[in-house]
């Protein structure tokens, strides 16, 4: 364990080597809008508890989170006339992780993106039918930083690999978002999962397993480096960092137990 592990602060110092800082795969792609319902002419800006309960029950197979602050989340200089969002997570099927890196894994990855994109538009249509104005941030488009918006929604935290890690799915998930103008979403103000960052400062499993050395860590200044020009996660369906992650292998609760033990040992040494 590194003696420099800081349990009191959060490591956010990240150097990204990419054609566009904060971009996932270094490409600004665009997918067709498959909405079947138009935005309402006179949208409502408040939501009832009854509707939210029905909404969350209807889409209970997916992770749902809410944010009312989109500052600093958009990529490629995009800007949208929306101030809140509904964040959605979708579990990655085992087929992607079990496929060899290359065409097979890429095809499985793209299949999930297409399916999840259609689902996101379906959810958007449901919201429009109920009077809400929406804009879909497709899971494969790079209009918004999905890891950051999911963390802001308190659904989990960003790991050293740059991937989003949640209690339910670890790093094995894709994210999308639906931008809305709803002023009373049930946002959470405290994120209980930020300890994940601290554990990731100790763990280097994703760095060791990356076949392209796209991940590294500078111990002296606690800076994690993500070379997105080398990452083949999107281009070849690579999931080695996901498979190596303790949150995937052991689960959230067991990793948290280990974190507490190491943290307590560290505190006793002070």
DSSP character at residue 131? T
The alpha-helical segments, DSSP class H, found in 130-227 are 146-152, 195-202, 205-209
Backbone CA torsion sign across 42, 46, 47, 48: negative
- Hey, how many other C-beta atoms are within 10 angstroms of the C-beta on 238? 24
Q: Give every CB contact of residue 179 below 8 A, 6+ residues apart in sequence.
A: 70, 80, 82, 84, 85, 134, 135, 136, 137
Q: What pLDDT digit, counting tens, does each position of 20-71 carry? A: 444 445 455 677 899 999 999 999 999 999 999 999 999 999 999 999 999 9
Would the pTM of this model clear 0.85, i.e. be above it? Answer: yes
Q: Say whether pLDDT at 3 is over 80.
A: no
Q: How confident is the model at residue 11 (pLDDT cuts 50, 70, 90)?
A: very low
Q: What pLDDT digit, counting tens, does each position of 167-220 carry? A: 999 999 999 999 999 999 999 999 999 999 999 988 989 999 999 999 887 766
Confirm if 40 and 126 have CB atoms less than 8 A apart. no
Confirm if 207 and 160 have CB atoms less than 8 A apart. yes
CA distance 81 to 134: 10
Q: What is the pLDDT of residue 29?
A: 63
The pair of structure tokens assigned to 192 is: 């209980």
Backbone CA torsion sign across 137, 231, 106, 169: negative
CA distance 180 to 134: 5
CA distance 166 to 177: 16
CA proximity to 94, closest of 5, 173, 181, 204: 173
CA-to-CA separations, 207 to 50, 212, 244, 249, in angstroms, rounded? 45, 10, 9, 16
The pair of structure tokens assigned to 238 is: 């690579």
The pair of structure tokens assigned to 189 is: 């103000």
Least confident of 88-92, 142-146, 155-159: 142-146
Q: What is the pLDDT of residue 25?
A: 56
Containing 14, the helix (H) or strand (E) segment is: strand 14-17
Q: What pLDDT digit, counting tens, does each position of 147-156 carry? A: 999 999 999 9
The pair of structure tokens assigned to 223 is: 């800076």
Return the bridge partners of 137, or none: 177
Q: How confident is the model at residue 8 (pLDDT cuts 50, 70, 90)?
A: very low
Distance of CA 259 to the CA centre of its chain: 22
């Amino acid at each position: 364990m590194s003696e420099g592990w800081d349990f009191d602060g959060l490591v956010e110092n990240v150097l990204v080597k990419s054609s566009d800082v904060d971009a996932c795969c270094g490409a600004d792609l665009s997918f067709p809008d498959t909405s079947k319902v138009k935005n309402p002419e006179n949208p409502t800006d408040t939501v009832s508890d009854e509707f939210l309960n029905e909404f969350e029950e209807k889409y209970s197979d997916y992770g749902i989170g809410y944010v009312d602050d989109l500052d600093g989340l958009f990529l490629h200089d995009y800007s949208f006339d929306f101030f809140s969002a509904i964040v959605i997570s979708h579990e990655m099927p085992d087929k992607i992780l079990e496929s060899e890196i290359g065409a097979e894994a890429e095809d499985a990855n793209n299949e999930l993106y297409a399916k999840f994109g259609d689902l996101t538009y379906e959810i958007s249509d449901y919201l429009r039918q109920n009077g809400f104005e929406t804009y879909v941030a497709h899971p494969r488009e790079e209009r918004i930083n999905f890891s950051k918006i999911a963390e802001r929604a308190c659904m989990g935290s960003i790991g050293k690999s740059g991937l989003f890690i949640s209690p339910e799915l670890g790093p094995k998930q894709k994210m999308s978002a639906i931008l809305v103008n709803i002023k009373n979403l049930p946002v959470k103000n405290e994120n209980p999962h930020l300890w994940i960052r601290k554990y990731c400062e100790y763990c280097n499993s994703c760095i060791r397993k990356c076949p392209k050395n796209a991940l590294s860590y500078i111990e002296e200044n606690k800076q994690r480096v993500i070379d997105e020009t080398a990452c083949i996660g999107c281009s070849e369906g690579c999931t080695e960092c996901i498979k190596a992650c303790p949150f995937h292998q052991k689960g959230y609760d067991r990793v948290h137990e280990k974190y507490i033990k190491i943290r307590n040992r560290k505190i006793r040494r002070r």
